[in-house]
Amino acid sequence: MKIGVLALQGAFIEHIKMLRRLGVEAVEARLPHQLDGLDGLIIPGGESTTIGKLAGEYRLIEPLRRFAQSTPTWGTCAGMIFLAKDIGIDEQPILGAMDISVDRNAFGRQIDSFETELEIAGLAGAPYHAVFIRAPVVTAVDKGVDVLARLDDGRIVAVKQEHLLATAFHPELTDDLRLHSAFCDIVGETQT
Ligand code: GLN
């Protein structure tokens, strides 16, 4: 199994380290041909406007759209924004791969970062310690999208749609490998 991490901007190195700790072959992807042969892709957190702009400059938008149509792809934070089909504004490029609406910077300036324990569907054991940094939330899901986690106030912060996964927080900034492992399971299921 070979998983790429989109390495245009943001926390890509941390995702690569997590995958390698799981014994998975992990590579940086920043050019269209580097998507060839990947069994899955992680789009990291960072700044979605920058990721979108650079993806345009690297001619990656269409290749990424095609990739995400059939190959497991996981967007975290800015990556979740980039995967969404609706972010309420037209100015920034997005892939539109996932049937979710997303509100960028949903927590505003006053609580722009926080950490909390989340119950995530499908993850056994203790709650997941989730790190939110200027995070988005999912404001609407179409049918076919499963909600995996909500904050105490009900806002949606983790979703799955077939082979696509999106989380509003930063799973690469903790020691907990369970979400990376769950994504590898999705990749494994898609291969068989
Ligand atoms: N606020 C950022 C954006 O809009 C996302 C922040 C993050 O990825 N930690 O892209």
Distance 114 CA to ligand 1 centre (A): 13
Instruction: State which of 77, 89, 92, 111 you would mutate to test the pocket of ligand 1, scoring each by most atoms of that ligand within 8 A of its C-beta.
Output: 77
For residue 36, the Cα-to-chain-centroid distance in whole angstroms is: 19
**Between β-strands 84-86 and 98-103, what pairing exists: parallel, antiparallel or unpaired?**
parallel
- Atom 5 of ligand 1, nearest CA residue: 78
Distance 192 CA to ligand 1 centre (A): 34
Average pLDDT over residues 10-33: 98
Tens-digit pLDDT profile for residues 139-192: 999 999 999 999 999 999 999 999 999 999 999 999 999 999 999 999 999 876
CATH H-level superfamily of 2-191: Class I glutamine amidotransferase (GATase) domain (3.40.50.880)
Return the pLDDT at 108: 84
Which H or E element spans position 188?
helix 178-191
Return the pLDDT at 192: 65
Distance between CA atoms of residues 23 and 47, nearest Å? 28
- From 146, 142, 140, 144, select the one nearest 159 (Cα to Cα): 146
Q: Which residues are catalytic?
A: 77, 170, 172
Show the CA angle centred on residue 83, arms to residues 81 and 89, nearest 5°: 50
Tens-digit pLDDT profile for residues 76-123: 999 999 999 999 998 999 999 999 999 998 998 767 899 999 999 999
Q: Which residues line ligand 1 (CB under 6 A)?
A: 45-48, 77-78, 81, 104-105, 133-134
Distance between CA atoms of residues 64 and 1, nearest Å? 19
Tens-digit pLDDT profile for residues 49-86: 999 999 999 999 999 999 999 999 999 999 999 999 99
> Is 138 in a helix, a strand, or coil?
strand
Return the pLDDT at 111: 79
| Residue ranges of domains in the chain | 2-191
Return the pLDDT at 172: 96
* 75 C-beta neighbours (distance < 10 Å), count: 32
Average pLDDT over residues 122-145: 97
Return the pLDDT at 37: 96
